[in-house]
Amino acid sequence: MIRKPLSFQHRLMLVILLTVLLPSVLINFLTFSTIKTQMQKDAITWLKGITNNSGRTMDSYIQLVTGITKNPEYDSTLMSIFERHRFNKHGLYGYPYDERVQINGWLSMLREMDDNIYAVNFVDLNGNRFHLGKDYVEANKDWIDRTSELNGGSLVWPPVKLADGETVFSVTRTIINPNTFHVTATIQLAFQLNFLTQEDNENFLQEGDLLILDKTDRVIFDLNGKRTGERMDWNNREQQFHVSYDSALTGWKLVGMVPEHLLFQKVDQLRKWILLANIVFILLTMVIVYLLSYRITRPLWKLSKIMQQASKTNFIIDTISFKRKDEIGMISNSFNLMVRRIHNLIDTVTDTERRRKKSEIEALQSQINPHFLYNTLSAITMQAELDENYKISDMSSLLGKLLRYSIGSQEEWVEVRQECDYIRTYIRIMQFRFPLIQFDLQIDESVNNWLVIRLLIQPIVENAIIHGIVPKGKEGLVNIHVGEKLTESGDSRLFISVKDSGVGMDQQTVDATMVKLREYEDQSGGIGLQNVYNRIALSYEGDFEFTLESKEGIGTSFYIEIPRRLRNENHDR
């Protein structure tokens, strides 16, 4: 099945779509992809900066607080107080007032060392607790026992998110009297880390998350409180970026996480608007292209339909009219001009063919009567020879040859040699009738094989005798020349001249005769001068010259110049 090709209008729209619209959309897509990739790199760098800064802040502050917990050991008065009450069974009431003031002074001093310190606790060996600040952890054996296992070392406890929303870290240490090396008490210092609530990280705190993992990758702190106690799954990113910081001080791993949509929210929103603008632009462009292409292709479509109709009706169609001055208007005007010229050519060819047929019919009609005469002359020739009247026999024999040439062949084109033989026969007959007339026939041998239409020269010679010399009433000369003529371009043409020394004509008569010859006239019969001119015009299609020159009392000259024709050429016209 042959597919119908796309129309010019659809091809134009397709070209616009492929060369303008699609590249525009592709460029926008690549631009946003590049921007998104670069933003992703910048986001990871930003997240890594936040995470690393937070991790270093956490380590440095924990290190600072850990150092603060060591300070009480260097106060001998405080150590002596706790040393004396190692076996105190009376609780806080067993401490005199001045000792409690001394202990509370130390708590106040530690509390005021930094605004981020949340609470400070001293717990002696009997479980008596001295506290300053917000209540954070009740005294219990768990944290005290775990701290005592370190023999004076510090223990950093995971952060805890309190009911009021504050996140608190704590550091504990057993206090050892440097003089007696006795464990005298346990200190607990709770503090906050401001890196979790910095205003610079507002967007991060709203959408992102900070996790603290222990050495087993279990979440011990979750800023959002949704993952605490879970094990971190590094393979499930949940469309989030995350960066980790390993703390050498605590062995924890601080993980910063932020969802992709937070980073690309504005870009995605801008991309949606630009995508919508592209869609509107494409639709609007296609509508405009459709309207413009319709305006361009509609006249061309009408013109093509008329052209197809013209080929089917031999250009018998009405001309078209587009009131446009662009290229389409020029094409329609040119087509109208072509149609009119074709109409004129058809009329000319039709008229020419009609004239050719009429001339052929007239030539055939002129041969009907000579056919009867030819048979009669044959009988006269035989009788004259029987009667031994040889002059009559010669005349009738020559006349028979003339009739045989005129009616014996239906070929329109004959060789120059044949036409000239016919002229010689005709001259011999005319010499019997007009013995005072002399004839001079000159033929170039180079043109003997050239072709010419039959009965071309004889009517002109007859016109020279009958209308030129005979009216003069005395002897005369008819000069006939057939030869070759070279043009300026180097082409060879057949040249024929017939001159007589007859009565001649004035210039007015010459002009009137030429006008009459050029105007086609219906003829009642015969193959006279008019018929010769008509047949030359039809056979050579205007490529000829027919000239008449004459002077009164001197004579008349006919000059004919026609193209060269050879036997192997096609002369069907």
| CB within 8 Å of 269: residues ≥ 6 apart | none
Residues 244 and 374 in one domain: no
pLDDT band at residue 285 under the 50/70/90 scheme:
confident
- Tell me the CATH number at 215: 3.30.450.20
pLDDT of residue 110: 86
Give the end of a domain, one of 226, 260, 294. Answer: 260
The tens digit of pLDDT for each residue in 213-239 reads 888 888 888 776 677 778 877 776 556
Per the domain annotation, does 124 fall within a domain?
yes
Per the domain annotation, does 335 fall within a domain?
no
pLDDT of residue 201: 54
Per the domain annotation, does 246 fall within a domain?
yes
Please check whether residue 497 is in contact with residue 558, taking contact to mean a CB–CB distance below 8 angstroms.
yes
d(CA 337, CA 358): 31
Rounded mean pLDDT, 171-186: 89
- Tell me the CATH number at 354: 3.30.565.10
Per the domain annotation, does 364 fall within a domain?
yes
Number of separate domains in the chain: 2
Rounded mean pLDDT, 313-337: 67
d(CA 26, CA 568): 69
The tens digit of pLDDT for each residue in 435-492 reads 889 999 999 999 999 999 888 898 899 899 989 999 988 889 999 999 999 988 888 9
pLDDT band at residue 556 under the 50/70/90 scheme:
very high
Residues 252 and 350 in one domain: no
pLDDT of residue 139: 47
Per the domain annotation, does 315 fall within a domain?
no
The tens digit of pLDDT for each residue in 122-154 reads 888 888 888 888 766 554 567 888 888 888 888
For the purposes of burial, counting CB atoms within 10 Å of the CB of 278, is it exposed (0-12), middle (13-18) or buried (19 or more)? middle
Instruction: Tell me the residue range of the domain where 412 lies.
Output: 344-563
Residues 250 and 350 in one domain: no
Lowest mean pLDDT across 84-93, 311-320, 423-432: 311-320
Residues 416 and 519 in one domain: yes
pLDDT value at 351 more than 70:
yes
Interior angle at CA 209, CA 204 and CA 211, nearest 5: 140
Give the end of a domain, one of 260, 291, 310. Answer: 260
Q: Which residue has the higher pLDDT, 459 or 525?
A: 459
**Can you tell me whether residue 273 is helix, strand or coil?**
helix
- Entry pTM: 0.45
Give the count of alpha carbons within 13 A of 143, CB side only. Answer: 23
pLDDT of residue 319: 61
**Can you tell me whether residue 285 is helix, strand or coil?**
helix
The tens digit of pLDDT for each residue in 4-43 reads 666 666 777 777 777 766 777 777 777 767 777 777 777 7
Q: Which residue has the higher pLDDT, 42 or 548?
A: 548
pLDDT of residue 333: 74
Q: Which two tokens mark 176? A: 């050892």
